[in-house]
Amino acid sequence: MPRVFALLALLAFAHAGAAQGTKRDYERANSVGQWTAGKVTATKVAPNWTPDGRQFWYQNAKKEFVLVDMVKGTREVVAEDKLPKDAKPTPPPKKKRFDAADEDGDTFVRLAQPPRRGAESPDGKWATFLKDSNVWLRDTKTKEETPLSTDGKPGDSYGTVFWAPDSQKLIAIKTKAGGDRKVTLVESSPRDQLQPKTSTLNYLKPGDPIPLSKPHLFDVAAKKEVATSDELFPNPWDTGFEHWAPDSKRFYFTYNQRGHTVMRLLAIDAESGKVTAVVNEECKTFFDYANKLFAQYLDDTNEAVWMSERDGWNHLYLIDLATGKARNITKGEWVVRGVERVDVKNREVWFRALGVHPDQDPYHVHFCRIKLDGTGLVKLTDGDGTHTVEYSPDRKHLIDTYSRVDLPPVVELRRTADGKKVCDLEKADAAELLKTGWRYPERFVAKGRDGTTDIHGYIVRPSNFDPTKKYPVIEHIYAGPHDHHVRKGFSPAPYEQRMAELGFIVVKIDGMGTNWRSKAFHDVCWKNLGDSGFPDRILWIKAAAEKYKEMDLSKGVGIFGGSAGGQSSTRAVLAFGDFYTVAVSDCGCHDNRMDKIWWNELWMSWPVGPHYAEQSNVTQAHKLKGKLLLVVGELDRNVDPASTLQVANALIRADKDFELLVVPGGGHGIAESPYGSRRRMDFFVRNLMGVEPRSR
C-alpha cells in the first residue's frame, strides 16, 4: 500500500506541474518585471566626447573604463587616470518649438524655420492686436490705432498674425468656430464626497462641425484687406506650415481638406492675392497627415522638401516653389519613417527609413542620408535589427545600438561619411536571463490574404514551456492604422509574457491596414476599420500552428486588446466567431461614430456614410459567438465610455450572454490595472483553458 500511495502522490505532483492557470503561474506572471530585471548587461553606451572629435570614453557593465579612438578605430580598457580630462557627455537635445514625437518617442523636425508671428512687425513700426474679434494696427511711435479687418465677429474671429519680412503685408488667420459637442462623465464613487459627480469635456465626433481656419491677406500701408479666393482651400480640416518667402512676395501654407483626400501646398501672391497650388495631391483614399505631412522651405534656392506617398511608398521630394516641379529625393520599395534634419549648406537630408535593407524585417528602423538631388544614398546603419543612434558632436561618427525581439542590443561605432563600421563597442549578455527559463519571442512570417504579401509577427511562450504539451493560443491585438504595433526591439519583459506565463502561447501580428509598409498595404483600413487585418491574422495563426504543433487551436483562439484593440477584439467574436472564441475588450471605440473625430475621420473618411454603421460593434452585436468580457472605466476621457455600454445594450437586446466590468473611477486602459488585469487573466483561464483560475 505505501508504494501505491507513493505512486499516486508522484502522479499528482506530475499533474500539478503540468497544470496551467495555477497560483504559481499567476505569481510568475505578475512578477515578470521582477524576475527578469537586471539579468541583461552591456545594453548601452553612454559616451563622453573629447572636444577635438577624436575620442570618447564610457564605462562598461564591468565598471571598466573604455577609451575609444574614433580616428584610429581602436577600443581599449584603460585606467581611470588615462582618460582624457576634457571629455564631456552628450548634452540633452534642445527643445524646438515645432518638434513632434512619433510612436517610438523619437523626435523629428516638422518645420525648420518657424514663421514670424506675433504682434510686432519686423521693422518695429507696427504692432497688431485683436479687438472685437478683428485685427487692428497700432503705430508704435504715434500709438494711433486703426482696424485692418471689420468682418470679424464672435465665433468667426481673427487670431494668429504672420508678418511679411518687409513689414508691408501680413496674413491673419480667421477661424469660424466648430461644434460644441460635450461628453458628460459620471463619477459614481468620488473620494471626497458621498454623492456622485459629473464632469464634461469637449469632444467632437465624426460628422460634427469643425473649426474652419483660413488665411486673410492685408496691405499694411493701405490698411485694408487684399481679396483672396478660397477656391483652393474651401473646406480645411487644417492649414499649417505657414511661411513667408524671404522677398515677401509669397505666403505659403499647407491645406488638408476635410476627409483627407486632398493635400495642397498653396501660395498667396502678396500683391494680387492670387492663390496657386504649388503642390496639388489628390488621392482616392486618404493622406496620413498625422504621420506623413512634412514641408521644409529652402529659402536660398526657392525650394521645399516635401513628403508624399504619390508613387505608393512614403518618400521625400524636392519641390521647385516657382514652378511646382517635383523630383524624387528618395525612391524605392521602402519608406521614409521620419526626417532627422535637412542640411541646407551641404544640400542633403538625414532621415530614418524602414525596409531600406531588403533582406531584413521591413519594419526595422535604419538611419540614412542622401543628397537633395537624389544621389549619394548612404545607409548609416546596417546590422540586422531596429536601430537608435547617437551622433558625435561633430556628427562625423555615430554610436549605433540595434536589437531585435530575439537579439539583445549590439552597440557599434560607425562613420557618417560612408556608413562603415569603425569598431564594435558592446554586445549585450542575456545568459542570466536565459537561465530563468525565459525564452526569446520567436519572429514568424506568413503570407497574407493576397498570397504574396509577408505578414510579420512574433510568438511568445511561457518560461516553463514544454514542447510536448499543447497550449491554447491568445492574440494580443492592436490594429490602429497610425502605426505598426509588433515590437521590433529587445525587451526582457515583453508585454505578452505575463499572459503567456499562465500557460498560453501569445501572438502579436501586424495585418494589412496598419502603417509603414506600402500605401496599398495601408489603404486596406480606409472606410474599413472593422477589417482589422483579420484575414491576414487568421492565415498567420493557422500557418504558425501548422509549423508548431504545441499551438492548440482546437477550442478556438483567444483575443484581447484595448482602445482600438478593444474595438477589434470584440469585432473578432462578432465577425470571425468560428475562429476567435474568447475575447476581452477594454475601453473599445466600438462604434466609430461615437469616438473622437480626428482618429475616425482620418481612416473612415468624411462625410459619415453607411459604412460607419455597417462596421459598428453595436449593429453587429447580434452575431456574437463565444465568450466576451467588456471592460470600461466610467471616467474614460479618451474613448466615450458610452460606446462600450451601447454594445452591452445591443447584446442584451439580442439576448446574448456576456460579461461587463465597469470600473468606478477608472480611466482609459483600466484593464491594465491590477484588478482589471487579474479579471482578464481569469477570463481566459476559465474559458479557454477550461479550468477554474487559481489567481488568489
User: Sorting pLDDT into bands at 50, 70 and 90, what band is 384?
Assistant: very high
User: Sorting pLDDT into bands at 50, 70 and 90, what band is 117?
Assistant: low
Q: Determine contact, residues 377/370, Cβ cutoff 8 Å.
A: yes
What pLDDT shows up at residue 94? 66
To which residue does cell 503561474 refer? 25
Each residue's pLDDT tens digit, 480-489? 999 999 999 9
Closest CA to 523 of 260, 333, 193, 266: 260
Each residue's pLDDT tens digit, 295-337? 999 999 999 999 999 999 999 999 999 999 999 999 999 999 9
Cell of 398: 555615430
| pLDDT > 70 fraction of the chain, expressed in percent and rounded | 94
What pLDDT shows up at residue 119? 84
Closest CA to 565 of 632, 480, 648, 640: 480
Closest CA to 125 of 173, 160, 168, 171: 168
What pLDDT shows up at residue 111? 38
What pLDDT shows up at residue 5? 35
The DSSP letter of residue 313 is S
d(CA 401, CA 357): 17
H or E, element range at 540: helix 534-547
What pLDDT shows up at residue 679? 98
Asked whether residue 228 carries a pLDDT value surpassing 50, the answer given is yes
What pLDDT shows up at residue 114? 47
User: Sorting pLDDT into bands at 50, 70 and 90, what band is 91?
Assistant: confident
Cell of 250: 509669397
What pLDDT shows up at residue 157? 97
Query: What do you get for the CA distance between the two ends of the chain, in Å?
Result: 35
Residue 241, Cβ neighbours under 10 Å: how many? Answer: 20
What pLDDT shows up at residue 19? 56
Per the document, the length of the chain is: 696
Look at the alpha carbons of 59, 60, 64, 65 in this order and tell me if their dihedral is positive or negative. negative
Which whole number is the average pLDDT over 146-174? Answer: 96
Residue type, 499: M
- How high is the mean pLDDT of the chain? 93
d(CA 218, CA 34): 63
What pLDDT shows up at residue 426? 98
User: Sorting pLDDT into bands at 50, 70 and 90, what band is 95?
Assistant: low
Each residue's pLDDT tens digit, 581-607? 999 999 999 999 999 999 999 999 999
What pLDDT shows up at residue 104? 34
Cβ-Cβ contacts under 8 Å for 115 (sequence gap 6 or more) = 162, 242, 243, 244
Each residue's pLDDT tens digit, 49-58? 999 999 999 9
d(CA 284, CA 274): 28
Cell of 597: 473625430
Q: Which parts of 264-388 fold into alpha helices (H)?
A: 289-292
Supply the DSSP string of 249-278, one letter for each residue: SEEEEEEEETTS-EEEEEEEETTT--EEEE
Each residue's pLDDT tens digit, 3-36? 433 333 333 333 333 457 899 999 999 999 999 9
Cβ-Cβ contacts under 8 Å for 323 (sequence gap 6 or more) = none
To which residue does cell 482589471 refer? 676
Q: Determine contact, residues 433/32, Cβ cutoff 8 Å.
A: no
Three-class SS state of 81: helix
Each residue's pLDDT tens digit, 245-289? 999 999 999 999 999 999 999 999 999 999 999 999 999 999 999
Asked whether residue 551 carries a pLDDT value surpassing 50, the answer given is yes
User: Sorting pLDDT into bands at 50, 70 and 90, what band is 185?
Assistant: very high
Cell of 560: 484581447
In 142-196, the DSSP E strands lie at: 145-147, 156-163, 169-176, 182-187
Three-class SS state of 222: coil
The DSSP letter of residue 114 is P
d(CA 488, CA 465): 23
187's torsion region: left (phi>0), alpha (psi -120 to 50) or beta? beta
User: Sorting pLDDT into bands at 50, 70 and 90, what band is 107?
Assistant: very low
